[in-house]
Amino acid sequence: MKENSLYFRIKLTFIGVALPALILLPVCLMLLEMSLIVISLSTVALAGLFLFSYLLLSIRIENKLNTFSSLLHGVMEGDFSQRLRVQNSDLFSSLAVTINGLVEQAGFHHSADKTNNLLLQKIVSNIDVAIIASDGDGKITLANPQANKLFAYSPDIVGQTTQSLGLIQLFKKHKQAVIEFQFPAQAGRWQLYQDSYFEQGKRFQIYFISDVSHLLRDEELKAWKNLLRVLSHEINNSLTPIASISQSLQYDLDKNHDQEMLEGLALIAERAKSLELFVKSYRQFTHLPKPNRQRVDVNSVIANCINLIGDPRIEFNSDQEISLALDSTLIEQVIINLLKNGLEACTTETGKVQVTCRIANRFCIISISDNGCGISNCENLFVPFYSTKQLGSGIGLVFSRQIIEAHGGHLTLENNHGEAGACATISLNLR
């Protein structure tokens, strides 16, 4: 096999320098008529000098190269703390200075990349957006905690496929859109976005699923609240003088005057007072108190509400002790409101309301199901002031959802599948 190493080149160089010298030296000594012994000794001494120089240079070069190799191997392994020693101003020292500079720059960029990656991991782990990445075969390679929570997977959905999770079908129909959708752990309105990126020459797909229910709902509620404030202000400005003037006229008119006029004035005053109380009743919609959380037994809170209503049609089942940090007063308002809605929907004697409380996917799930008439218009359930009841105010469900969301939970209401009635579900995070 042909040698082409550095040592072979050095050897050829020394042979190229030493061979002419070893030939010329005996010739010169012979011309000077030196003895054979002197010529022989001189030639052997010169050959030994060349051999010693070759070995010394080879060892030095080998040591330098081994040092450089060890340093570069450490850099490849992620160790950027080593540096080459610079002693002289020869070629090796100049090369060592250059290598030290490269290692320092590489270490700086490695440290910056590591810091950026840690920051990115923290952002991805804590952001309230489900992030999922998959390879070319649709196998999921990355999923943040929000994605695992959304699909109710424990501990991780990495290794699953986008086909099995339904992502392919979902994004194919609704790419970059806001949709209403029921995921395994949560229902709501979602902003979908899909993109691709390359890593090590391979193409990956990345999916973003953002819950925009709160954002859109907050804007809607803000608009309703502003409207309610304006209407309340204008109505109160008109009701106060109307009530005052009607009462003053009643006092000024004696009983000898037209009785119908007195009755009309009394009716005006009464209706003005009733309308004022009606407007005041809506203030709870715009002034939700901040929850005063204390750890309570959820089953006890539910049982208190059922005992307060005292209707034998209500059945309660729970086989788990669940303790949560809640504002029991506000939560009781929600449960009582949902229980009353369920009882009002049960118009027959066989009507019943079933209440269950359980733990599922790190959530406390409270279900209130009835076998009544069901929901006729699901789209307007949480629209303020909308009600199908004759005396309904249209703020009960809206106010209830505000309370649950103030506790970091979710409230959904839908018709039962395959049977009569509807089911209200309260989901509260156990953490």
CATH class as words, domain 294-429: alpha beta
* Of the listed ranges 8-22, 138-152, 276-290, the one predicted with least confidence: 276-290
Mean pLDDT score of the chain: 79
Confidence class for position 426, pLDDT limits 50, 70, 90: very high
DSSP states along 305-338: HHHHHT-TTEEEE--S--EEEE-HHHHHHHHHHH
The number of residues making up the chain comes to 431
Residues 242 and 228: beta-carbon distance below 8 Å: no
Statement: residue 420 has pLDDT above 80: yes
pLDDT tens-digit map of 122-165 = 887 778 888 889 998 889 988 888 888 888 776 678 888 888 88
CA-based nearest residue to 332, from 385, 387, 408, 407: 407
Confidence at residue 216, expressed as pLDDT on a 0 to 100 scale = 59
- Dist. CA 82–CA 99, nearest whole Å: 11
Percent of the chain with pLDDT over 70: 79
pLDDT tens-digit map of 25-70 = 788 878 877 788 887 888 888 888 888 887 787 787 778 778 888 8
Give the pLDDT mean for 326-346: 89
pLDDT tens-digit map of 214-268 = 665 666 666 666 666 666 666 767 777 777 777 777 666 665 566 667 677 777 7
pLDDT tens-digit map of 184-217 = 877 777 888 888 888 888 889 899 988 877 665 6
pTM: 0.48
Residues 130 and 144: beta-carbon distance below 8 Å: yes
Statement: residue 336 has pLDDT above 70: yes
The CATH number corresponding to 127-211 among 1.20.1070.10, 3.20.20.80, 3.40.50.20, 3.30.450.20 equals 3.30.450.20
pLDDT tens-digit map of 307-329 = 988 888 899 988 888 899 999 98
Backbone angles phi, psi at 410, to 5 degrees: -140, 145
Percent of the chain with pLDDT over 90: 10
Strand partners, 413: 424
- 417 SS3 class: coil
Confidence class for position 278, pLDDT limits 50, 70, 90: low
Confidence at residue 5, expressed as pLDDT on a 0 to 100 scale = 65
Confidence at residue 326, expressed as pLDDT on a 0 to 100 scale = 92
Strand partners, 412: 425
- What is the biggest distance separating any 2 CA atoms in the chain, rounded to whole angstroms? 169
Statement: residue 392 has pLDDT above 60: no
Q: How many helices (H) and strands (E) does the chain have?
A: 12, 12
* Of the listed ranges 11-15, 137-141, 369-373, the one predicted with least confidence: 11-15
187 vs 183, residue with greater confidence: 183
Confidence at residue 154, expressed as pLDDT on a 0 to 100 scale = 62
Confidence at residue 2, expressed as pLDDT on a 0 to 100 scale = 43
DSSP states along 128-182: SEEEEEE-TTSBEEEE-HHHHHHTT-SS--TTSBHHHHTHHHHHHHSTT-EEEEE
Residues 128 and 335: beta-carbon distance below 8 Å: no
Statement: residue 356 has pLDDT above 90: yes
